[in-house]
Structure 1
Amino acid sequence: MSVILKVEERAVRPRSIRKKLRKEGRVPGSVYGKTIEDVTISVDAQTLDKTIRQNGLNGVYTLDVNGKKINTLLFDYQLDTFTKDWVHVEFLAVDMNEETEVEAELSVVGTAKGMKEGGILEQSLYSVVVSATPDKLPEQVEVDITDLAIGDALTIADIPKHDDYTIVNDPEEQILVIGAPRAIEEIEETEEGEAPSEEE
């Protein structure tokens, strides 16, 4: 399901116009894609912030540009380092019947058996690339770790297949492992590193 976001066309020159727009509470941006001519736009900052928070980074946004509707995905954006205000936003026009690739966050679900025994969750991958039609792109991909014991690892291949999207990453890529308790690891490392005694 798409969300309508009303935007306005804006001039490209002079460059100072972007600063002026931000002072007026608007965010400069652009829309581009294979099927449309590039359009420079501005959007109300509060409306943009609220809409993205409610619908996610992978939501479909139907931009209303002077009455013309364009189905888009949020392609890129820039936030102010200190205030976290929107500085610039880019939308990519998409065909709703054509698959596209985006990043989706990995969400770890459950508590591993190994963690209950003192094991430590060591995660190395926090997002995956998924392919789907724009209306079926997930914001998150859940991975259940409930049955993992100490020493068990979880890879891309272990994620159950989903009807709506396909994960593009290498199936053998590791997501996480349930490591041994630190105390045990340190004892083993100490024993392995001990120098032989003089009597030996």
Structure 2
Amino acid sequence: METIALGVEPRVIRKKEAAKLRKNGIVPAVIYHKGEETVAVSVNEIALNKLVHSAESHIIDLQFPDGKTLRSFIKDVQFDPVSDRIIHTDFQLFAADEVVEMEVPVAISGDSIGVEKGGKILILRHALTIQGLPANMPDHVTIDVTNLDMGHIIHVREIPMDAYTGLSIMDEPETPVISIAPPKKDAEAETESAAG
């Protein structure tokens, strides 16, 4: 997993301060670690967007103006329900030997037989919650869809984790992750016949 540097500025929590920051393209954030005091910071919205909307997960070195660096990962992101802009972020610190849970993006490999028949691949879960040591965390979890046929679904319990040493998926086993939807015309025909 790649490590990315991200500049942060300490901030003082005041009334209406968060709204003022957002207006200037700055996102309020907090940094926390179990047993330690939470630190309020702010981060550039454009730089944060690149990380949040990346197809890969990252370790993030939070760099303060005084030269201090804290190693972290993004634990939570809040979006504005209307504009979809990031309005707040939580960064979690960790020790190298500490088991953590991270959101890791899903990637697909292979040519699905369902797609070859005209179906459309649907990623129902774009990231999985993975537990393990930070050093073992992958950029993404790759799921082979070669044998996925029309109307079939891959659930969390069906994702092989042999290639990911010491890691576990923490999502519910029955959670659907990827499916193949039938072509639109077929789906419409099924709906009409069910209605008739």
Using structure 2 for the length normalisation, give the TM-score. Answer: 0.71
Letter in 1 for 2:58: G
Name the residue aligned to 1:163: 164
| RMSD, aligned α-carbons | 3.6
Distance 1:120 1:16, change over 3 A: closer
Deviation per residue, 1:138-165 (Å, 9 max, x gap): 3432221213456765444543312343
Name the residue aligned to 2:100: 100
Name the residue aligned to 2:61: 62
CA distance in structure 2 between the partners assigned to 1:55 and 1:180 by the alignment: 26
Q: Between the two proteins, what is the percent identity of the paired residues? A: 27
Deviation per residue, 1:10-62 (Å, 9 max, x gap): 1112x122222223332211111115321111122233334545684x31112
Distance 1:11 1:109, change over 3 A: same
Using structure 1 for the length normalisation, give the TM-score. Answer: 0.70
In the TM superposition, residue 76 of structure 1 has moved relative to its aligned partner by 1.4
Letter in 2 for 1:4: A
Preserved contact between residue 75 and residue 91 of structure 1 (Cα < 8 Å)? yes
Q: How many residues align?
A: 188
Name the residue aligned to 1:198: none
In the TM superposition, residue 64 of structure 1 has moved relative to its aligned partner by 2.2
In the TM superposition, residue 105 of structure 1 has moved relative to its aligned partner by 3.4
In the TM superposition, residue 74 of structure 1 has moved relative to its aligned partner by 0.8
Q: Identify unmatched segments of 5+ residues in structure 1.
A: 195-200
Name the residue aligned to 2:37: 37
Preserved contact between residue 35 and residue 93 of structure 1 (Cα < 8 Å)? no
CA distance in structure 2 between the partners assigned to 1:45 and 1:54 by the alignment: 14
Preserved contact between residue 148 and residue 178 of structure 1 (Cα < 8 Å)? yes
Matched, 1:24 2:24: yes
Distance 1:172 1:69, change over 3 A: same
Letter in 2 for 1:163: Y
CA distance in structure 2 between the partners assigned to 1:145 and 1:118 by the alignment: 15
- Equivalent residues in 2 for 1:93-132 (5 A)? 93-117=93-117, 126-132=126-132
- Equivalent residues in 2 for 1:57-96 (5 A)? 58-65=57-64, 66-96=66-96
Bigger radius of gyration among the two: 1
Preserved contact between residue 136 and residue 164 of structure 2 (Cα < 8 Å)? no
- Equivalent residues in 2 for 1:148-159 (5 A)? 148-149=148-149, 154-159=154-159
Letter in 1 for 2:77: Y
